[in-house]
Amino acid sequence: MEITSLFNISGKVAVVTGGSRGIGEMITAGFLANGVKVYISARKAPALIEKARELSEKYNQECIPVPCDLSSMDGIDEFVNQITEKEDAIDFLVNNAGAAWGEPLESFSEKGWDKVMDLNVKSIFFLTQKFKNLLSKNGSDDDPSRVINIGSIDGLNVPSMETYPYGASKAAVHHLTRVLAAKLVKENILVNAIAPGPYPSDMLGPAVGYDYSEIAKRNPRKRVGTPEDMAGLAIFLCSRAGAYTVGETITSDGGIVKTANHDLS
């Protein structure tokens, strides 16, 4: 029951897609700080390689960059093959890579729709499918392997901006999480999702000019999310403490979803 045992994840191997910035970097940093070897992916190789070097040095733990484009099957296959060449098994898969696209309803493009759906939904399914064997090797009754899918509160609420496929894709992620959880729990692989609210990121940042003060004011907690909030939740899900949590979509949003229109002050 000691906290060092309940939340211990040291010695594990993780794959975090989109792990070089935003929420992916937060989870990666939390893993590295607690003794996990982490492979991270992103499309832009120079920035990815530099971020992996920076994180490795900061946490004195291996962070290995694997540049790739996960929006296509070729990119997914290349990524999985590179990991398979280096590892016989993995313990954690964090499906975090994602995209958003905003256009008016009347002119919303097929290009934007397909980009969001391919990266946010299709890649999660096929990465989980193709990493299943590596996840199965280490998963046991006492210590199952884990998959964490990063959804969004925009998949639970109606988004305020015209990002039509984004909310739909994240709702799909939440339901796909339940479907995959039902299938893979029998193989000692636990699948859960995190639905973040506002966190500093290169996805939310441009929409608010990287000024999160107004968003913070409107949040029940009067702030945006921090790396500790996201890393702590991911560590819980991957540790002994989270080993009985299956198929859940856990919000990390300061109370937006559950307290909306219920201000009792």
- Per residue in 157-200, pLDDT (tens digit) is 998 889 999 999 999 999 999 999 999 999 999 999 999 999 98
What is the pLDDT confidence band of residue 265, given thresholds at 50, 70 and 90? very low
What is the pLDDT confidence band of residue 46, given thresholds at 50, 70 and 90? very high
Instruction: Tell me, yes or no, whether 87 lies in a domain.
Output: yes
Averaged pLDDT of the chain? 95
205 pLDDT more than 90: no
Dihedral sign for Cα atoms in the order 181, 167, 44, 18 = negative
* pLDDT for res 62: 98
Q: Which residue has the tokens 């201000």?
A: 263
Q: How far apart are CA 116 and CA 29, in angstroms?
A: 26
Q: Which of 166, 210, 212, 244 is catalytic?
A: 166
**Smallest Cα–Cα separation from 162: which of 214, 232, 90, 100?**
100
* pLDDT for res 262: 56
Tally of CA atoms within 13 A in the half-sphere of 177 that contains its CB: 31
Instruction: Tell me, yes or no, whether 77 lies in a domain.
Output: yes
List the single range of 35-49, 133-147, 164-178, 250-264 with lowest mean pLDDT.
250-264
Instruction: Tell me, yes or no, whether 154 lies in a domain.
Output: yes
CB 122 within 8 A of CB 100: no
Instruction: Tell me, yes or no, whether 265 lies in a domain.
Output: no
Domain range for 8 is 3-197+230-258
CA-to-CA dists, residue 3 to 13, 235, 248, angstroms: 21, 12, 23
Instruction: Tell me, yes or no, whether 142 lies in a domain.
Output: yes
Instruction: Tell me, yes or no, whether 221 lies in a domain.
Output: no
Total number of domains constituting the chain? 1
Give the domain CATH number at 241.
3.40.50.720
Instruction: Tell me, yes or no, whether 220 lies in a domain.
Output: no
- Per residue in 62-88, pLDDT (tens digit) is 999 999 999 999 999 999 999 999 999
* pLDDT for res 208: 78
CB 80 within 8 A of CB 131: yes
242 pLDDT more than 90: yes
Instruction: Tell me, yes or no, whether 219 lies in a domain.
Output: no
- Decide if 166 is catalytic: yes
- Confidence (pTM): 0.95
- Per residue in 9-36, pLDDT (tens digit) is 999 999 999 999 999 999 999 999 999 9
